[in-house]
A and B are shown apart, each in its own frame.
Chain A
Amino acid sequence: MSKATEHLSKIKHSLAGRNRAEARFRWYGRIAIFIGLAAVAVLFGDIINKGHGAFRTTYINLDVSYDQDLIGVNNLADSEQLSAGNWDALTKSALRAKFPNISGRSDKRRLNNLLSNGAGFDLKDRLLESPQLLGKTESVWMLADDDIDTYYKSWLAGEAYAARLSDKQVIWIGELHQQGLIKLQFNSNFFMRGDSREPEQAGILGAAIGSFLTLIVTLMLSFPIGVCAAIYLEEFAPKNRWTDFIEVNINNLAAVPSIIFGLLGLAIFINFFHVPRSVPLIGGLVLTLMTLPTIIITSRAAIKSVPPSIREAALGMGASRYQVVLHHVLPLALPGMLTGAIIGMAQALGETAPLLMIGMVAFIVDIPSGFSDPATVLPVQIFLWADSPERAFIEKTSAAIMVLLSFLIIMNTSAVWLRKRLERRW
């Protein structure tokens, strides 16, 4: 056999093995992707399965008579009367009117427990909205208690969970159901209210606005600082030991556990500069420390990807360094910088640990209206609810996770879209 044919047969022989190896490798890739997708599907499936119920909640329909003597209010303009008013009496009397045969303290209490303890205040708000109702009677859908809500949903799903209900309460709900006086309805409270100890009244708006305000502070601080640092380091700074040292430390900073940033914020911002705790301002400051390295690193990568020929062209035209950066480098690097910023913001949105250190874990009912109002943020809200013993908080927790995830998905999608949109080819 000649040398050439010998080589050829060897090549042919090895070819089969190489092809097999490639096919195997493709399958490894497919399996890896499948595992990834399956994990995401399980995660989302579980969360949606647990959380979808929170978007609807149970309401009970009762005839309410706005009796002036019962509430002790005859002038709705008098705020003193309003705050002293016995609003629970309205719900209690409505329930008693519905189930007149109840006697005994404990049964009465159980009856009263059908409705949320906030239902009376909802009636007060309704009365303030339409004052002509005072002294009249109307049928109103009122928020049910969380235990009732949990039971009713599970009962509708065919696996009744009545552990926290008395037998009589179960019977009453059955009666209401037969008469069509109890129903599930879109849970506007969940989106319109702040936190509450009562699951049926707990909403996510306070945390969402807290997150929003915190992110605004973070973006306003970290984007300009990060971009300026990146431009200086890439375009102006001399390459020497100092800049190497800075670069190494920026990379180190990106790897610091986030709780450390929380401690730093506590020590520096709160204890030294006396920034008020639990507010979006301090949250934003701490998250700025955390996102800065991300933004600097991605911005530097974006600046590096601008072809040097563009810089040379501009310099050759007699543009100053500053003009080169402003007219050419920055516009070309901006999509990459914005993508980095959005990814940094998404990271900040999901961050919990550092915020625990600076008091953003507090139980806050009021919806924050400014950067210095006490607030909490979405992931911390999830943490708080997951920690609560009431069963109804399980679905609230999952629902809040769904809201947080959808924000994150929106942010990441917009990052991809922005990159596609602004990307320039040359």
Chain B
Amino acid sequence: MSPVETPKAVKVVKKSKTAPKSKKAVAPKIAPMQTLDIGDHHVTVGEIFSDKPKMTMRNINVFYADKQAIHDVSIDIAENEVIAMIGPSGCGKSTFLRALNRMNDTVEGCRVEGDIRMDGEDLYAPKLDVVELRARVGMVFQKPNPFPKSIYDNVAYGPKIHGLADTRVDLDEIVENSLRKASLWEEVKERLHQPGTGLSGGQQQRLCIARAIAVSPEVILMDEPCSALDPIATAKIEELIEELSQNFTIAIVTHSMQQAARVSHRTAYFHLGKLIEVNPTKQVFTMPEHPLTEAYITGRFG
């Protein structure tokens, strides 16, 4: 008798749970969906361009098969600045970031249109080798992903494959410098030859940063580098980003508005694949130009 009744009961519970949710979505307090959808024609507001750009992106469109993920985005990234990209989930900020070092090339069915240049050089030129590009534009991923090798080998991997070190001594030096820059050296110098996967999450992420800077890239892309970390590890990484910004140009995607406010010089707000606003971080968080940006940073959706 009971097995017949149980699923019924579950169904009822489910219904009652989902019903208020759908009501909430159209509640008048939140901006209605048609307001959030900014339509096909749209102009980004704010300080989009820079006087001395490191990277320039013009009219970027990214497609996954038939679905368009990025709509006509233009932006400059200035030399030695930290630019944060924020926006609700699925707004295309990670996709946009991955277009900058052509990591999207590895995704089946992904197509990038538009003009992306670094120091005036077309990154999507047919004769450009992605290997060289990725040595110049390093990347740190959302989840710490050290190789299942020793700490030393993790950091030495980039210099090794690019042939940056002529001797063992050179390599040792690169590894030490990179780990120092990633403020990990003191913690791991006694166990360089133990597996990198044995470190804590925060240490692993700093190891990944050390690995990325070991090939001395010009730009470092960070895709939500702290989303898998606890607050203390996050604080360390944020500190590190500030130090690194003296030598590198950094583009960071983050889910945390506070993080963007803490670490970045400029902030770009993405919404449904469109770039809504780019402005100095202070301005974005105090006097946003666009109502959507304001709605997002004040927590009205997202």
Contact = CB atoms under 8 A, between A and B. Distances in A.
Interface centre among A307, A314, A318, A426 (most CB of B within 10 A): A318
Interface stretch (A9-17, A259-267, A356-364, A385-393): A9-17
Given A14-B2, A315-B106, A332-B148, A320 B131 contact: yes
Contacts of A256: none
A317 B141 contact: no
B103 A312 contact: yes
B2 A309 contact: no
B134 A316 contact: yes
Given A318-B131, A318-B132, A425-B197, A313 B161 contact: no
Contacts of A17: 2-3
Contact of B2 (A13, A238, A311): A13
Interface size grouping (class) on chain B: 20 to 34
Interface string B122-163: 000000001111110011010101111000000001100110
A314 B147 contact: yes
Interface string B79-109: 0000000000000000000000101001010
Interface in A316-330: 316-320, 323, 327-328
B5 A312 contact: no
Q: Chain A: interface secondary structure?
A: helix
A323 B135 CA distance: 14
Contact of A323 (B9, B147, B161, B208): B161
Given A323-B161, A425-B197, A318 B135 contact: yes
Given A316-B139, A317-B161, A318-B134, A309 B145 contact: yes
B206 interface: no
9 contacts: A309-B145, A310-B148, A313-B146, A314-B157, A315-B134, A316-B138, A317-B161, A319-B157, A332-B148
Interface centre among A311, A314, A332 (most CB of B within 10 A): A314
Contact of A309 (B5, B6, B9, B141): B141
A13 B147 CA distance: 52
Q: Which of A17, A309, A424 has the most CB of B within 10 A?
A: A309
Contacts of B208: 313
A420 interface: no
Contacts of B250: none
A17 B2 CA distance: 9
The SS class assigned to the B binding surface is helix
Contacts of B143: 309
Contacts, number: 75
Nearest to B158: A317
Given A313-B208, A327-B161, 11 more contacts: A14-B2, A307-B145, A311-B106, A312-B103, A312-B141, A313-B145, A313-B211, A317-B157, A328-B147, A424-B148, A426-B197
Nearest to A238: B108
Interface residues of A, number: 27
Given A316-B101, A318-B134, A426-B197, A10 B161 contact: no
A239 interface: yes
B141 A316 contact: yes
A204 to B, nearest CB: 44
Interface of B: 2-3, 5-6, 9, 101, 103, 106, 108, 130-135, 138-139, 141, 143, 145-148, 157-158, 161-162, 197, 208, 211-212, 215
B131 A426 contact: no
A6 to B, nearest CB: 11
Contacts of B147: 310, 313-314, 328
A239 B141 contact: no
B30 to A, nearest CB: 33
Contacts of A317: 134-135, 138, 157-158, 161, 211-212, 215
A328 B196 CA distance: 14
Contact of B103 (A10, A14, A239, A315): A315
A318 B215 contact: yes
A425 to B, nearest CB: 7
A316 B212 contact: yes
Contact of B6 (A14, A312, A323): A14
A314 B157 CA distance: 9
A2 to B, nearest CB: 15
Nearest to B162: A318
Contacts of B6: 14
Interface string A328-354: 100010000000000000000000000
B141 A313 contact: yes
A318 B161 contact: yes
A288 to B, nearest CB: 32
| Residue from A310, A317, A332 whose CB has the most chain B CB atoms within 10 Å | A317
A309 B161 CA distance: 19
A316 B215 CA distance: 11
Contacts of B2: 10, 13-14, 17
Contacts of B108: 238-239
A426 to B, nearest CB: 5
Contacts of A425: 148, 197
Contacts of B145: 307, 309-310, 312-313
B90 to A, nearest CB: 20
A119 B125 CA distance: 84
A50 B180 CA distance: 71
Contacts of B103: 312, 315-316
Nearest to A13: B2
Interface string A1-41: 00000010010011001000000000000000000000000
Contacts of A316: 101, 103, 134, 138-139, 141, 212
